[in-house]
Amino acid sequence: MSSENDPTGQVLCQRVAELRKQHGLTLDQLASTSGVSRSMLSQIERGQANPTLTVTFRIAQAFGITIGELVDQPWSAPSIEVVHGDDGNNLFRSDDKCTIRTLSPLQFERSVEFYEIELAPGESLSSGAHYDGTRELLTVAKGEAEVESGETCRHLLENDTASYRADLNHCIRNIGKERLICYLVVTAR
């Protein structure tokens, strides 16, 4: 059964193709990540297949979103979304060494991510290379940091901002004597 006459199916077809292109994935790469065959993904993108709930769930998981977000129609979303500071679901990590709190709505996390990061003195947050073209913008609100991207390293003081490639191995270090508080924006092509 095709999704040509089904509005939800059409949204799904368009969203899968759009998200795959946004992430720079080939059909083979998405198939590998999702566990859905390349031919099924191709049929879905062309509107020639109406996937089961399980297949839709696997595709959504591959993009790190819910099924609802996968079939969401942006024009029907509220014009203002609030990320509440006291919502524990926004804590990506929270321990004595590091706290990472998501500040951006979850459905934005594949194109723009916004975080508040706190690092204890002497601690660091290391990341492997992200997708090609990914950049990070780090602003120090309190403390002193060192940012490393590939072979380049920079020292940041309070109110300094660094923009750097995140498609290389990169690291944020607290080199000060107090807890580092900074804001991180991650953008993908």
Residue bearing tokens 């566990």: 35
- pTM for the whole structure: 0.60
Question: Residue 23, SS3?
Answer: coil
Q: Which two tokens stand for residue 4?
A: 């040509």
Written as one letter, the residue type at 124 is S
pLDDT tens-digit readout, 142-179: 999 999 999 999 999 999 999 999 999 999 999 999 99
Query: Which residues are CB-contacts of 152 (< 8 A; sequence separation ≥ 6)?
Result: 164
Q: How far apart are CA 125 and CA 139, in angstroms?
A: 15
Is the pLDDT assigned to residue 5 strictly greater than 90? no
DSSP H/E element including 187: strand 180-187
The pLDDT of residue 40: 92
**Nearest residue to 105 via CA among 77, 139, 140:** 77
Query: Which comes out higher in pLDDT, residue 70 or 180?
Result: 180
Structure confidence at residue 1 as a pLDDT band (50, 70, 90): very low
* Domains of the chain with CATH codes: 7-76 (1.10.260.40), 88-187 (2.60.120.10)
pLDDT tens-digit readout, 114-143: 999 999 999 999 999 988 889 999 999 999
Written as one letter, the residue type at 23 is H
